[in-house]
Structure 1
Amino acid sequence: MKRIRKTSRAALALVAAVAAASLASAAWATSQAAPVNTAPPTTTGTTTVGQTLTADNGTWNNSPTAYQYRWLRCDRSGNGCGPIGGATQKTYMLANADADHTLRVRVTAVNADGATDARSAQTAVVQSNTAAAPRSNSRPSITGDTTVGQELSADPGTWTNNPTSYSYQWRRCDTSPFQCLDVNGATGKTYGVREADIGFRMDVVVTASNAKGNGTARSLLTAVIEPKARVVNHRPNMKIVSVRFAGPRVYARFRVCDDSLKNLTIIQTDTRPGRLSYTRRFSTLVAPKPCGVYTRNWMPAPRFRGSGKYTLVLRARDKSGLTSTMAQSTFVR
């Protein structure tokens, strides 16, 4: 009888030891688990530039001890998300770059056994703040045929801060180097291509306005404006568009048309009655296609400066040695 009691007590002790070991093992297993998200993070706040969004961590298992944040800028559909530089706090103030985008926040929960990420749903599309002047998000663009007699159209591009109106200024730009001048009276959304534009490239400057001010942006350049008829010439054709003086320096804008579509040598000569002439040469860096407008400047030799009659002559020579007739302009200074 005594032996049976001793055996029973031994068995009970064994069972208790096994149970204690199982509980200790379960506790150990629990402490080895990284955080697990059970409800995703959320964001609160007004989605307008200048306002602040706040992240809520969501809910997690396995007792996170710390949380980390990364704000993401996404497209209007909540896709194509990328991290916003420096946006690693629980709150985030919306910037102009966020306008017309949605945002998400990625929360990382951390404990001694690891870290786990969870991402919020996208916000509403961020609206511009009309407390500021418009700013360009994407530059204006030009569509249409760059041939004399055709029409070009301007698209204003996209802007922040809700512009209430747009204005336009069309410009003629040299083939090379890049210099642009306003076309007088060309302030509509469309522009009729004309003879005076041949050899130029066009751009348009758009001004967006609201109650707080204005913002401006310019388009890329069009292709070179071409004449209606195909250019076929035995030798280059040269025409002076304009000449101006800035102190003693001369600035000449000229148009060259040539069907070789190759760079040309420009020959420039200064003359003055009773003085020995002076000739200089330079080359186009962008070939006429088939026409091009160029601006060059130079300092005349001392004998051509000061008051008196001054004539400049320009000619263009192609790779085969054929030279245009001369174009000249005379001034009395």
Structure 2
Amino acid sequence: MSADLETFYEVIRRQGITRRSFTKFCSLTAASLGLGAGAATEMAQALETKPRVPVIWMHGLECTCCSESFIRSAHPLVKDVILSMISLDYDDTIMAAAGHQAEAILQETREKYKGKYILAVEGNPPLNEGGMFCIDGGRPFVEKLKEMAEDAFAVIAWGACASWGCVQAAKPNPTQATPIDKVIKNKPIIKVPGCPPIAEVMTGVVTYVTTFGKLPELDRQGRPKMFYSQRIHDKCYRRPHFDAGQFVEEWDDEGAKKGHCLYKMGCKGPTTYNACSTVRWNGGVSFPIQSGHGCIGCSEEGFWDKGSFYDRLTGINVFGIEANADKVGATVAGVVAAGVAAHAAVTAVKRIVKKPENVG
């Protein structure tokens, strides 16, 4: 298939969607992206007037978990993204075409929409032995990646594989698997890390780029600030337990049953930037920490080479610069004990010193 001149609004009206539902969609989408009050109107105008954007989705060394996450998006539904908002011209995982037919579509889109299509990349290229560890259509993937990036408007790096290299690039990295920003130097790249990224984060990035025709504001590592500006720790519902020095010490202990902080069990939430604790997973139902397992930091660079997922972080301060989880826990216990002792002392004094009786 190829992108035509239809806009998103024209497509959904042909599908029987009302103007009211379209306006509601724009409002909800703008809110989910954390945009300003006037963004819904701007979004509606863009979707009414701009043609759908062609998207080329390529796969290198990866496990397809990003695609599996993407198709489970609930806000917006992935069917609306694929069938109405964008024109997914090439994705060898879900497209009907295969072999020479698929390769022809890839080249046709590149030539017809030069400088206008988005290149979405899932996975990364291995560079060792001329890229021969990943062959796509009879050619090294790294060659096709460079070729398709040359005429793209922008590049999206899906997941930890494309953003950082992920487990393929773990030491000793025999294939020399490499993040795509080390290969593509002349195009803007949006990194959407995670293993996999959250579905709504993926569709949110696509929605923003296709609606406004520009990249979202990125942090210094190339990640969209709207989703990666806060640590998971900052909005975690277990954060009050961390601040109170209440930690799970062993799996299935009383602290675990009470929902205490998982920091001592290796949770990487204090050093991981992602939207897991706000957007959450499975349509906003839960996320790993809520399910009883600590964050493994999968959206951070090199998470696979930083030891066991159950090793505790060191140097995470709580109340004071010199405080750590152990000291805070001990301090809180001491404060509670002192408080109990003080209360007992005051009660005893009140019992001994009675109020003088009034003398007539």
* TM-score of the aligned structures, taking structure 1 as reference length: 0.22
The higher radius of gyration belongs to 1
Greater helix percent: which structure? 2
* TM-score of the aligned structures, taking structure 2 as reference length: 0.21
